[in-house]
Amino acid sequence: MGPSHISPVVVTFSPSVTVQDPADVDDPRADLRSATLAASHDGRVLTVSATLQQPTSPTTPNWWRGLSIPRPGITWGLNTDPTSGDWQYVANLRGDPDLGAYGFVERRQGGASQVVCPADASFDGSTYWLRFLTGCLGNPARVRLAAYVQLYDDSGSDIIGLDYAPGFGEYSDWLTIPLWTNHP
């Protein structure tokens, strides 16, 4: 299941940035170890990924379905404005016992969020992935990321852990997206 506007053809990625995070959360299921942002060779597709110390399937009954806000799952904060420390866009990976992994990209503006496009989500047993069109972010020339995870206990009401990579308020280096991408 995924957005029909992204070609099912295998896309290769060249430029990427990665952030690391030490083992620092009591519950390894919510301990974010690394996150990566990569651009396809043609610059039209972005992929974000994350690894946890002890990965769990997004179909796990409640860990991925908590009852409070922020919602459980993995969030990649994407910054396209070097004059701001804010997340202009957020890529979200959520889970459901029936649907499995699913994703979407939101634009943040003035304290509000608006979904701008769906994202292809997957989990291969060790890494969580989201793939979406660069146009979802307005075709920026460069972007940097931060990642956040929050998961719940089996009741769906108590948080088992939350973590940031590289750290709260920090970002990766800038990823430069191939310039010709920004032209129609």
Containing 118, the helix (H) or strand (E) segment is: strand 112-123
pLDDT tens digits, 13-67: 568 899 888 888 888 888 999 999 999 989 999 999 999 999 988 887 666 665 5
* Sign of CA pseudo-dihedral 177, 174, 15, 108: negative
Distance CA 36, CA 81 (A): 19
pLDDT at 181: 40
Asked if residues 18 and 48 have their Cβ atoms less than 8 Å apart, the reply is: no
pLDDT at 153: 74
Distance CA 49, CA 147 (A): 9
Domains of the chain: 16-176 (2.60.40)
* Sign of CA pseudo-dihedral 63, 89, 1, 175: negative
Half-sphere exposure of 166 (CA within 13 A, CB side): 12
Maximum CA extent, the chain: 49
pLDDT tens digits, 70-91: 677 899 999 999 999 999 999 9
Check whether 156 has a pLDDT greater than 60. Answer: yes
Residue 6 or residue 98, greater confidence: 98
pLDDT tens digits, 103-119: 999 999 887 889 999 99
